[in-house]
Each structure stands twice: as structure tokens, then as C-alpha cells.
Amino acid sequence: MAFGSLPLLIPICVGLLGVFLYQTVLSPSQCEANAGFNVTKVMEQAVTLSTRNWEYGTVAEALLELHNPELTVFGADPFPGGKIPKVTAEEVAGLKYVKPYIRTLGETLIVSDGCAGDPASLGIPAILLGQSSHSYLSAADRQASYLLDKVPRFWNKAISHRDDVAEVWSDFPYMAPPFLAYQAVATNDANLLKEAVDQCTLHRQILQINTTSSSAPERGLWHHIISDGTTEDLGLWSTGNGWAAAGLTRVLATIQKWNPPQPSHPTSADLRAQHLSVLKASIKEILDGAIRSPHDPANNLLRNNLNDHSWFGETAGTALLASAAYRVAVLAPETFDQKYIDWADEMRQAVAACVDPETGIAAPADNALDWTDRKPMLTGSPEGQAFVVMLYAAYRDCVCGGVCKGGLSAGMEGMMGDIWEGLKRYGKGVWKRFKEPPGKEVWEKRLKQERERQREQ
């Protein structure tokens, strides 16, 4: 290669290095995107407002996705060597936050308050903590055994969300199956991984709206609660559909990212492909139903009950469903194409417009403690705040992964802009020399110097 071509290669190499730094070294934990709202303030409100067991687990997941995405199932290599990563709790915001709430004695990781599924939301943090403290692993084992062996089941073997009666809730797929799938990785248990997928499909079987019309806009969506007892909610709750879609997405990511170490239980590639196919189809059904659902013209948000025009648009379910859309667009772009990204962008912008820039409160939100309450919550929903953080993290990872188009944060834009401007300045200089080669006087001077150098030798 002629040395004269090196100046032309330098900006190309530097440019490629910039891309490498942007998409690897800086992505995703150091890469920031401009989602249209202050995610730090939203996160602070989620931490402050949370007081219940599932809220602790949800906030912990939001903190992990925000600050340590490499430790979540959405990371590039969440299971190094096919195993759970070893971490130091004090260095991980999500684990430091949730550790005081996890009990290492008892059947469940936290008091259930009647809901068998909710304590499992702390299961993944417990397993991560267990990599440096065995008592947390033992607690996670007991939590899994409690779910599998002691909690009532519906007629089709779906695990109940309640301790005392068989009730199938759309909340459950976010709480328990992601934990069971992660526990399967921790114990290298293919049968447990299958159970995690089965619970997703069994809940779909019970909760998905029963419509014989292929043109019904609500097809694919899930009811909130179906029970053997008296408590039922047949509404197509936006947050409940968000719980289901996001939970199934976490199970999908776990299976997709896990390469079992040797020796492992025999799990055929066909079975793995079947698991992935079933999960993608179920997630797609929910998202397609959400995309077809009417928006509240007052704020462009999804309504609290997706097919009911009498309900207000709210931020919680909208944010969680949009976050799931971004995630699957990265995980399975062959199934979730630009349509899903465009819809998620629209929903993100609607949510961003409802985040108070001073307080970080996202409103209006639904009342998660009373899903029949028609008065919008304006002071902040604990889970809703966490969902907005998850929306940011999913969008950031989609942008920084090169799947979504979008703006970087001001700091990232400045850094990349400086690199680009430097490349342009350098390139202009090289191109000028290329177009305007040295004149006769310069060449004569160089020839004279070369002759003098040869005489000296």
C-alpha cells in the first residue's frame, strides 16, 4: 500500500472507531437518548412513591434497566458462559435499592398480602444477590417452590395470582414467568424454563378475549381477571395488557440470550424455536390489539380500558405497552417491523407530553389499587412512574442499538458532533491536498533535499 493513501484511510478508521465506541463501549449503559422527558426525575418519584411488594420489584427492574442494562435480560450478554453474572450489590443501584425488602427466610421473598404472584417480582434481584450471598439463592429457591407446589391452580393448570383462590390475572405474567425463566438459567433447568413458557400460554388461554370476529379491533387483547370465585374484571385494562406483553417479552429475551453451559439438560433446538415462536405470536397479538385501540383525543394516550371510549387516556399502560414494542423491535425485528417502532414513538411522545418537567410526575395515570376508579391519578402512580422509566430505557437501547431512529441526549449529541466535525475538518484538508497536488517549486525542493540526503550517505 502506498504511504500516500494513508491520509485518506485515517478519517475512515477514526469514523469506524467512533461507531464502535458508540455502539459497544458507550452502549447501552453509557449511551443516552433524548426521549422527551427527564428520566432521572421520573425515577426519583418511582422510588419515593413505592410502598408495596410488587412496586418494589418493578422499581428494582426499572433501576436495572436504567443504570445497569447489561445485567438485565435485554443486555448484550446477560448470561456470560451461560450463567448468572456475578455482581457487587453496593455497585448496582437496583440491587442496593431492593435488598432491604427481600427476606431470606420464609416461603416468599416478601410478604404476599394475599397475592401469590407479586413476591416473585423480586426473584431476579434475589438471584443476582445470591451470586455473592447464598442465603438469597436459597430464598429464591423457596419462592419458586412455593409458586410451583403450593399456590392454587386454575382448571388448565395456570398458577393463580392469589394465595387462597384460583384467580388468573394479567399482572401475573410480569411477576412470575420472568423469575421462573431466570431461575431456570440459575439452576440450568430446561424443565423449569418450559414451565415459565407454559404459564405464559396458559394465562393467554384463559385471559385472551374470546371473539369469533377476525375484524374485531379488540382481538388479541387480554381481560384483567378471571376467577373461580367472585372477583372478576373482564375489562381490557391497558396496564394489565402492558404487564402481560412486557412479562412475555422478558421471558422471550431470557430464552433468546441463554446458551446453556455444558453439560446441560437436553433441550432440542426445535423446542427452543417453538418457545420463541409462541411467545412472539402472543406478544404480537397484544401489541396489535393495542395499536388498533382508540386513543383519548385529549392527550393521545391509550384509554384505561382499551376498547372503552368512556375511559380517560392514561400514562401507565401506554408507557409499558410502548416499552414492550421497542424491546421486541430489537429482539425480533423480523416479526416486529417499523410499524411497531412508529407506534411506540407516537405513544412515547404522548407520554412525554404528560410528564411534569419540574416534578417528574407522569399524569394522568390509572389507580392500580382500584382499576374501576374513573378519577385519574394526578399525584403519581408508583408502578406508572417505573413504566415510564422502562419506556425510556427501551427507547434508549433501541436507538443506541441502531434499530430505532431518534435523538441522542444533549451530552451524547455533543460528543458525537465533536467527532464528526473533527472528521469533516480533517477530511477537507486531505481532500484539498488530493485535489491540489504540490506545485513545481515544491517538487523541485523535495528533489533537491533527496539528492542531498543521498550524497551524505
The pLDDT score that the predictor gives to residue 406 is 81
The pLDDT score that the predictor gives to residue 457 is 52
The pLDDT score that the predictor gives to residue 107 is 97
**Who's near 74: CB < 8 A, 6+ residues apart?**
65, 253, 327, 330, 331, 394, 397
pLDDT (tens digit per residue) in 341-372: 999 999 999 999 999 999 999 999 999 999 89
* pLDDT surpasses 60 at 438: no
pLDDT (tens digit per residue) in 175-204: 999 999 999 999 999 999 999 999 999 999
The pLDDT score that the predictor gives to residue 228 is 82
* pLDDT surpasses 90 at 51: yes
Q: What is the mean pLDDT of residues 3-8?
A: 47
Residue 423 confidence class, pLDDT cut points 50, 70, 90:
very low
* pLDDT surpasses 60 at 443: no
pLDDT (tens digit per residue) in 30-49: 799 999 999 999 999 999 99
The pLDDT score that the predictor gives to residue 337 is 98
Share of the chain above pLDDT 70, in %: 81
Residue 266 confidence class, pLDDT cut points 50, 70, 90:
low
Q: What is the mean pLDDT of residues 407-417?
A: 55
The pLDDT score that the predictor gives to residue 215 is 80
Share of the chain above pLDDT 90, in %: 77
Sign of the CA dihedral 12, 15, 21, 22? negative
Report yes or no: 228 and 165 within 8 Å, Cβ to Cβ.
yes
Residue 101 confidence class, pLDDT cut points 50, 70, 90:
very high
- 157/160 Cα distance (integer angstroms): 9
Q: Looking at per-residue confidence, does 215 or 399 come out higher?
A: 399
pLDDT (tens digit per residue) in 428-437: 554 444 444 5
The pLDDT score that the predictor gives to residue 15 is 44
Q: What is the mean pLDDT of residues 415-421?
A: 51
The mean of the pLDDT values for the chain is 88
Grid cell listed for 189: 433447568
* pLDDT surpasses 50 at 14: no
pLDDT (tens digit per residue) in 66-82: 999 999 999 999 999 99
Residue 22 confidence class, pLDDT cut points 50, 70, 90:
very low
Q: Looking at per-residue confidence, does 182 or 444 come out higher?
A: 182
Residue 9, number of CB atoms within 10 A of its CB: 11
- 457/445 Cα distance (integer angstroms): 19
Question: What region, left, alpha or beta, does residue 11 occupy, with left being phi > 0 and alpha being psi -120 to 50 degrees?
Answer: alpha
Q: Which long-range contacts (CB under 8 A, 24 or more apart) does 432-437 make?
A: 433/7, 434/8
